[in-house]
Amino acid sequence: MTNSSVHYRACNLCEAICGLEIKYVGNEVVSIAGDKRDSFSRGHVCPKAVALKDIYEDPNRLKKPVRRTTTGWEEISWEEAFEEVAIRLKTIQAQNGTNAVGMYAGNPSVHNSGTYLAGTGLMRALKTKNIFSATSADQLPHHFAAWQQFGHPFLLPIPDIDRTDFWLIMGANPIASNGSLMTAPDVANRLKAIQERGGKVVVIDPRFTETADKASAHYFIRPGTDVYFLLAMLQVIFTENLEKAPEFVSGLDELEQIVAPFTPELVADHTGVAATTIRQVAREFATASSAVAYGRIGLSTQAFGGACQWLLNALNCVTGNVDKAGGAMFTQPAMDILAASKGGGYDKYNRYQSRVRRLPEFMGELPVSTLAEEILTEGQGQIKALITSCGNPILSTPNGQQLDNAFAQLEFMVSIDIYINETTRHAHLILPPATGLEIRHYDLTFNALAIRNVARMSEPLFAKQADAKYDWEIFQEITARLTGEHSSTFTPEDPHAKVDLALRFGKYKLSLEELKKHPHGLDLGALEPCLPARLQTSDKKIQLEPTLLTKDMKRIEKALKTPVSSDFDLLLINRRHVRDNNSWMHNSERLVKGRNRCILLMHPKDAEKRGIKTGTEVQVQSRVGQVKVEVELTEKVMLGVVSLPHGYGHGRAGVVLPIAQKYAGVSVNDLTDELLLDELTGNAVFGGVPVRVQNCGNLVSFV
């Protein structure tokens, strides 16, 4: 056998951006392993990285444009595809107005610098208000709180876990997710290192997660009540004079008044966390030599997601654990997307509202929970055509069945995607970009969220096919045809030239050529104090009493006093597995094989009341729908809580993903409710959806 060659690059499947050592012969991948010389990931790699080979070799991956016909999918030329897209979109907008076209961008957009850099140009060219993305089904509250407190939605605090002595984790499972809004490869060993140096890790979560299993302590909390836990922690810290906020904060006294009524005793029954536990965690956090609170998707995807992120940031600030080694710090990346920001003038909120429910815009997007109704509700501004980019909202946004029905009635839909999946099967045209091992990639987003300042340029391992298109070529071609800038001599320009320019003018004076000399990545050092200079607020102070967030206290107070009344007596949360990556990695046999992971977790006492045993098929029903799924009894979920994984539900007709369909499972988002929102930010609620569960052998009808 011919000796293999070696290629180094970052894995761009999740936020950890682990360094890879890829051995290959010709156009065949021989092996994928962690790069031991990578200074950031240190050889760590999770099972998903090996599936880069599976994506590259997947016979179901589209490589040429296809058109949906009455007899099936047919391949067409790029020229024919681009022309049809431009003509159909222009015609629909001419007849119905610019807002008749919508666009949805999925999570992988930020894992591909070509898409990230070129996709916004197409959004601008459409001149529509109907822009949606996975942001409002995920991390929008983080951005909202960052804007209100630090002055810009992308000035996000990062937990300095390599130097902390107390890590409080709320609604996050970084051992399974590899970190999120916290680029931190090898979380398990970094967590262990905290404990080995005498520190402590505490997890607050409705489920005893993989991270909780490795933590120093875990406490159950009722889904959707984290805001009260945080209010009570702050109340204890102020009452016991444990605060030590830095000088560059505003609203400290006002925050003390806001939290004063929320004693641990007041919130204990509502949260399910004992008052003594709340006091203990608050004291330990405030008195640790360094501490950091980190809350992720479990905090964001609940009714008070924005307030949770505000209070979490406030907790770090009030205890003196912001802009300090071992606390919540801010990156200074080689390519700094905040470099051109003038500060104090960010005003991209509520400039317009969604047509049907009048929900506010933020960062140029409307909440994705409104997408289906904007298609289904007739009238001026109704969405009649849609572009989707590397996303599968039918499986990843609330009330997926409603969205499924909505997509079926669109006059025109085009998807920029490599698969015919649950969403793209509705498209009239699918334009597949070169992907994975065929692309250049610079981690604009995740370098800016990393627990160290790092940089790397990943060069393609394999050349794309001669007639293939990069994602940025597709975006630029469509944009040029919509704006009239296209001609016979039009040539798309590689947007990575912008990366090179930004690197040259950045803090470290780098370039793409310089990064090529460092195939194992470049470590630019630990996070350093940079406040108040890096703050974007007009007074260069952290706002502890931000106007819009403090107004939400009325809603928070009302919810605490309002008894919960529902025919649906259990609360549904979702979960993820280290071998899952939302919905788009399930066509890899090596990732989905083995024990069925799409099962409902249920507490034994809840099951006993309903005559349910492990292995029983049950029906889970919510306001919007129902699914049938196998149940597993476990005390790893809180009493009154059930858990179903996210990203499954591949059994729909027309999906061309045979391995995924073999392990189809059910979609948790056929149960989640598009009417349940964080009313302030518009983010979807996935944590604490009211459901009922019945043994399928004892089904009864409910009116």
Find tokens 């630029």 and name the residue: 476
Under a CB-based contact definition with an 8 Å cutoff, are residues 113 and 506 in contact? no
**Cβ–Cβ < 8 Å for 120, 471:** no
Amino acid at 439: I
28: part of which helix (H) or strand (E)?
A: strand 28-34
Least Cα distance to 303 among 388, 230, 224 occurs for 224
Distances (CA, A) of 355 to 303, 377, 624: 22, 9, 22
- Cα–Cα distance, 414 to 520 (Å, whole number): 38
Eight-class DSSP state of 399: S
Predicted local distance difference test score (pLDDT) of residue 530 = 97
**pLDDT for the residue 107:** 87
> What pLDDT is recorded for position 3?
85
d(CA 176, CA 205): 14
Is the pLDDT at 564 greater than 80, yes or no? no
Average per-residue pLDDT for the chain: 95
User: At 519, phi and psi to the nearest 5?
Assistant: -65, -15
The DSSP code for 425 is G
The pLDDT tens digits for 415-437 are 999 999 999 999 999 999 999 99
ω into residue 532 within 30 of 0, thus cis?
Answer: yes
Asked if 645 and 574 touch (Cβ cutoff 8 Å), the reply is yes
253 pLDDT exceeds 90?
A: yes
Backbone angles phi, psi at 429, to 5 degrees: -135, 140
Tokens representing residue 562 in the block: 């309002």
Distances in whole angstroms, Cα of residue 352 to Cα of each of 284, 361, 362, 385 = 44, 6, 9, 20
Q: What angle do CA 305, 310, 313 make, to 5 degrees?
A: 125
Three-state secondary structure call for residue 255: helix
Find the angle CA(226)-CA(230)-CA(231) to the nearest 5 degrees: 115
Per-residue pLDDT tens digits for 62-98:
999 999 999 999 999 999 999 999 999 999 999 999 9
* Percent with pLDDT over 70 in the chain: 98
Q: How confident is the model at residue 477 (pLDDT cuts 50, 70, 90)?
A: very high
pLDDT band at residue 570, thresholds of 50, 70 and 90? very high
Q: Residue holding tokens 């058109």?
A: 67
- Asked if residue 335 lies in contact with residue 502, where contact means CB atoms within 8 angstroms, the answer is yes
Residue 16: C-alpha distances to residues 140, 176, 514, 525, 625 (Å): 20, 11, 23, 17, 35
Per-residue pLDDT tens digits for 512-556:
999 999 999 999 999 999 999 999 999 999 999 999 999 999 999
Is residue 382's pLDDT more than 50? Answer: yes
The answer to whether the beta carbons of residues 401 and 407 sit under 8 Å apart is no
Q: Is 512 left (phi over 0), alpha (psi -120 to 50) or beta?
A: alpha
CA dihedral defined by 135, 332, 539, 164, rounded to 10 degrees?
90
Whether the per-residue pLDDT at 450 is higher than 80: the answer is: yes
User: Counting beta carbons within 10 angstroms of the beta carbon of residue 449, is it exposed (0 to 12), middle (13 to 18) or buried (19 or more)?
Assistant: buried
pLDDT of 703 higher than 50: no
292, 328 in Cβ contact below 8 A? yes
User: Rg of the chain's alpha carbons, rounded to an integer?
Assistant: 25
Domains and CATH numbers, the chain: 5-57 (2.20.25.90), 66-128+384-442+457-495 (3.40.50.740), 140-333+530-554 (3.40.228.10), 563-698 (2.40.40.20)
Which of these ranges, 34-38, 44-48, 130-134, 468-472, has the smallest mean pLDDT?
44-48
For 330-370, how does the pLDDT look when each residue is reduced to its tens digit (9 = 90+)? 999 999 988 766 555 578 899 999 999 999 999 999 999 99
Is the model's pLDDT at 565 over the cut of 80?
no
**If you average pLDDT over residues 312-341, what whole number do you get?**
94
Model confidence at 699: pLDDT above 80: no
Average pLDDT over residues 146-152: 96
Give me 606's structure tokens: 């809840």
pTM of structure: 0.96
- pLDDT over 60 at 440, yes or no: yes
Say how far apart CA 181 and CA 294 lie, in whole Å: 10
The answer, yes or no, to whether residue 122 has pLDDT greater than 60, is: yes
**HSE toward the beta carbon, residue 593, CA cutoff 13 A:** 5
> Per-residue pLDDT averaged across 28-39, rounded?
95
Contact by Cβ (8 Å): 549, 145: yes
Residue 388's φ and ψ, nearest 5 degrees, are -115, 140
Beta carbons within 8 Å of 491's beta carbon, 6+ residues apart: none
Both tokens assigned to 544: 């502890």
Residues 440, 432: contact at Cβ < 8 Å?
no
Query: pLDDT category, 584, cuts 50, 70, 90?
Result: confident
Tokens of 42: 């240190």
pLDDT for res 697: 82
